[in-house]
Structure 1
Amino acid sequence: MAVQAGRVGRKRDRKVTLPSAGTSQGWRWECDAAAAQQGSGTPGELPPMGPTVGLLPPLLLALAGAARGTFTVRASPEVAVVPFGGSVAINCSHGTCPGHEATLGLETSLTKDAGSRRQSFVLVNVSEWSPRPAICHGTCGEQRATASATILVYRLPESVVLDPVPAAAVGESRNLTCRVAEVAPLANLTVTLRRGGETLRTQSFGAAAGSASVAISHLLTVGPGDHGQNVTCHAELSLRPHGQLFLNDSMPVELTVYAVPKEVALEPVPPMAPGKNYTVTCRVVSVAVIHNLTVTLWRGGEVLAMATFPQATRVDVPNGITAREQDHGHNLTCQATGPRFTRTSAPVTMEVVEPPSHVLLALLLTLLVVALLGGAGFIYAAHYHAEKCGIYHLLWWQNKDKC
């Protein structure tokens, strides 16, 4: 059939070919522009057309493509989550393929087995930490399409363990350390340290090749209320939104906290006389409750007294002692003992002195009286002579005839 070229002042032959229906090339239609211009009038030929005839072939091509459809391939799931050494299935599917039988396949560096259906492929013994994406590919006649599925390989922690925490006095600090062994992917891991229901520290990690072991620490300064509290470590491996959230907790570690006296002292002791009884007081003061406190009074290496208190923050323990001559120069000490501590006061030296005898005391008193009386007589005589002879003639050898 003949059609007009559609441009004024220029004539040429034009042949248009469209895909033929029912074949991979589509349907076919040809027109001879020169014959159409000559107007041969042959039956079945198209009459001459105007300039818009040049738009017809592209329009017919578009309509033909729409009728035929675009061939597509889909991979499911788009992110396949699999434990290291495990297996996972990837399903490949395709869109419509009119007039042809579509084919599907899976391209991967991993070992695969065909599933029960030809669209299902099972990746077995996945032993690569970061495998390349698996590619679903399909053909429909001369058309080819692909879709990829990412492989996410993980490993649950082999263990989540808290290091033992030594007992600590009130106000002391201890390191809390949690260790998570062989986990992947590390970027999906979060580790949290808790004291009771209180979060002490939470830490995430950057990406790492393969599985890895990590440890986090927190320096805790303990107070009186921490005694008996449990410390725990929580590891979370989140594969969301493509997989599950895995939780793993360590065994709890109980904190042991004890109080230490800030003061252990003996009250001052006066000089002692042998055989006399005296009271010695030991004082113990603490900022927190001390459990099972024992207070002991020592004289040298000898225990004089001992007292025990189930709970105490301040105690004054009086102890009666009898002084002995052999105790002179010995030290008295007070000792406070608890489950985790021993504190001793500064020593107090005993001074045991024998008092003067009664005879010696009487002699001393007599001498004192004589001295006092003799002194009084001398003063009286001096006064008498001063009045009779004058102050300048007190000496008898100077004027003994007058006085």
Structure 2
Amino acid sequence: MSSRLALPPWLRVAAAMFAVGWGANQFAAMLLVYRDEDGFSSEAVTGLFGAYALGLIPALLVFGPISDRVGRRRVMRPVLVLSIAATVVLVVGGHSLAVLLVGRLMAGVASGAAFAPGSAWIKELSADRPGGTGARRAALALSAGFGSGPLVAGAVAQWLPAPTLLPYVPHLVLMALVVPIAWHAPEPAAPAADTSRHGHEVWRVLRGRPFVLGILLTAPWVFGAASTSFATIPTFVDVDVAPVAVTGALCGLTLWTGAFVQPFGKRLGDARLIIAAGLLAATCGLLLGVVVARTDLAWLLPLVAVLLGTAYGLVLVGGLTAIELMAHRDDLATLNAVFYSLTYIGFAAPLLSTLALRAVSPTALMAIGAAVALLTIPAALASRVSPRR
């Protein structure tokens, strides 16, 4: 009990986001396992990977606004239980595509119900710090969880027995440690919400120039860049040594890079510049993907992961910073939910890439992606966010 109380309140919430993020993305390292062990097609495994977003996006849009009304803790507590249940389903359904799909959808719902309220909660518990601190703390917790899950799962699946079962055990152990820490995390006293203005204010933000140019057009690059790094570009080359562990390591490198670069984004100050820097990194990473596709040089994959991880981290923290400036306190979780929903559209990138590769070459696919990222930079710079309060 005393060790739990010694933790800063925001860190207790961040621990919950880290653990849920771990559970959400541990599956990324398992794509090759299910293809090799169970004979699932590439379309099936990338479909399972992307199916997570089908549960996540509706949960984001439902539970973000709910937490604005009933409080963060009342939403987050059942989410922690659901995250555990989702992993248990993945353990049980190791050889069943249908059961794995259920587990992925459950993980998506847990993530959607956690990330928007959790980000808003951390922001509220960071009110004594400079502006943007809460957004950076939330993004760091999310990125660290996303990166650690597949890194550990990939190593366990590669070198230990029962590769469809044991990789999920570390998440269950982690949840056993985190639940007592996060369960009683404090909520700051909130002023009564003005429900009469809620819908009008949210709609005002969503149709405004800063949101359309700075968020709507750029947010899908968060997970679009990240998932392309570890789920698409590695398929362009032959990885003969420990391929499952390599997949997990690339995923971990991508997402941990995103975590490490976020403090440097603070130095840019302006959310527009942070997002534009991320899009430039995405452009460079995809152009290096062109080189990988043309040369079959597997040793370039870590550099691709660093560049696309930088894109992931900067666009994520830049978007959260912009939302924090746009949103009234009563609308923060709602607008965070919309932002995260847009970022998770990027999880469709591996499946869309798999389908597109039937018609175009890997080189052409990466070149098109790089061009789109580059052309999005002027839109990000043209947005201008004025603080809401």
TM-score of the superposed pair, with normalisation by structure 1: 0.16
**Greater Rg by CA:** 1
Between 1 and 2, higher relative CO (CA 8 Å, sep ≥ 6) is seen in 2
**Structure with greater strand share of residues:** 1
**Higher helix fraction: Structure 1 or Structure 2?**
2
TM-score (norm 2): 0.16
